[in-house]
Amino acid sequence: MSVILKLIKHNLNLMIFKKKSKFIFTIVLPIIAIVVISKLMLGNSAVLKVGVVNNDNTVVSNYLVNQIKDNKNIDVIPMKKSELNSNFASNTIQSAVVIDNGFEKDLSKGNLKGIDIIGKEGDDVYKLVEGIISLDVSNMAKLGKVSHNETQFSNLVKKYMSNNLNVERGALKGGGIDYEASSIFIGFLVMFIFYRAMSGANRVNEDRDQKVFSRIFVSNIKPWQYYSANILSSIFCIAIQVIISVIAVSYFSNINFGMSLITLSFILIIAGLIAVSIGTVFVSITRNTQEASMMTNVVTFALVMVGGCFIPVSIFPKIINDISKFLPTRWIVDIIYNIQTGSSLISQWRYLVLLILFSIALLLISAYFTKRKDKSFLEV
C-alpha cells in the first residue's frame, strides 16, 4: 500500500506541479470556462420582463400579481391593455398577464375566465408565468364552486392565501431557462471530466515513449501497483476538478442544480470513474500516445453528444435515442435529471450500481489487454 501511495504522490506531483501548463489546461481553464458559460447563460435570467394588465384590482387579482412579483427572475411592468402590442414589438416584455374586470366575481362562481397569459405558447417565459399562477387560479375556482355566495368565497380565499404554501419558482423548479443553463453546465463538466481522465490514462503511453515504463518494471514495483496508482491519481484530480467547478459555479452564478452540491459532486465523481475506466481501456489497446489521443478524442465527443450531455435525448431520432440508452453518459444524465425532478439519490441505486459494475468490467478488460501488452513490451 505504501508503494501505491508513493506512486500516487509522484503522479500528482507530475500532473500538478511539474506540468503546470497541463494542469491549468485540463483543470483550471475548464473551470474558468464553465463559470463564464454559466454567467452568460444566466446573464439575463433575472430580468425577464412580464407585462401585467390588472383591470380587476381585487384581492384575488392583486394576490396573483404579487405571486409573479415574488419571483426573483421576473420584473413586472404594469400597463394598459392597449400598450401590449407596442411593448411586445419593442421587446420590452416577453410575456403578459391580462386580468379582466369581473375576474374575481366569475371566479367566485367557479368560472375559469377573465385571465389570460399572452406570449408564445411553450416558450420558457410563458411556461414560467403559467406555472406560477395556474395552480392558484385552479384552486380558487374550486373554492368558488363550493361557495354559496361571494362572502363565503372571500373568506375561503383569505384562508387559502394565509395558509398557501409559498413555492419559489426559479432554477430547476419549472423555469426552463435555469434548467437549460444547469444542463449545459453539467454537460460541459462531464466533457472536461472525460478529457481529464483520458489525459491521465495516457500517462502510461507517455511513460512508454519516454522509457520510464521499462525502468519502473525492473524495480520492485508490481504492474498492478503502477496501474492502480495511475487510476487513483486520475480520479483524485477529477474529484478536485468537480468540487472546485461545482462550488465556483454555485458561488459566481445563480444556478440552482436542483440537488445538493454534495450529491451532484458524488454523481460527477462516479462519472469520473467511468471516464478513467474507458481511458484505461483505450490506452491498453493502442500502441502510442498519438493513437490513444486520437481515439479518446473521437469517442469522448461521441459519448457526450449521443449521451445527451448537450442535446436533450427527447429530440433525437428513435434509433439514436435507443443507442444512447446503452451509454454511461446517458445513465449519468438520467440520474441527474431524475433527482432534479424530485427523485432521491437512493432511488437511483440501479443506475449507480450499473455504472460501478460497468467501470469494473472495463478495468478487467483493460487489465487483460495490458497484461498481454506489457508481456510483449518487456520481452523486446
DSSP-assigned beta bridge partners for residue 75:
49
pLDDT grade for 167, boundaries at 50, 70 and 90: very low
How many independent structural domains does the chain possess?
A: 2
Range of the domain at 261: 2-42+174-379
Residue 168 has pLDDT above 50, yes or no: no
Whether residues 186 and 329 fall in one domain: yes
> For residues 21 and 302, what is the distance between their CA atoms, to the nearest angstrom?
27
Whether residues 267 and 353 fall in one domain: yes
Q: Are 103 and 60 in contact (CB under 8 A)?
A: yes
Helix (H, G, I), strand (E, B) or coil at 35: helix
| Residue 271 CB contacts under 8 Å (≥ 6 apart), including other chains | 190, 193, 328, 329, 332, 355
Any domain includes 168: no
Check which CATH number belongs to the domain holding 124 and give it.
Answer: 3.40.1710
Q: Give the pLDDT of residue 373.
A: 65
pLDDT per residue as tens digits for the range 313-349: 777 888 988 898 899 999 998 898 888 777 888 989 9
Whether residues 226 and 121 fall in one domain: no
Any domain includes 169: no
What are the start-end ranges of the H helices in 211-258?
212-217, 223-252
Residue 54 has pLDDT above 90, yes or no: yes
> pTM score > 0.85 for this model?
no
User: Which grid coordinates belong to 72?
Assistant: 426573483
Mean pLDDT across 55-63: 91
Mean pLDDT across 260-289: 87
* End position of a domain, from candidates 110, 139, 163: 163
* End position of a domain, from candidates 140, 163, 186: 163
> For residues 189 and 230, what is the distance between their CA atoms, to the nearest angstrom?
21
| Residue 24 CB contacts under 8 Å (≥ 6 apart), including other chains | none
* End position of a domain, from candidates 116, 141, 163: 163
Q: Give the pLDDT of residue 304.
A: 86
User: For residue 273, which of 209, 190, 341 has the smallest C-alpha distance?
Assistant: 190
> For residues 102 and 24, what is the distance between their CA atoms, to the nearest angstrom?
63
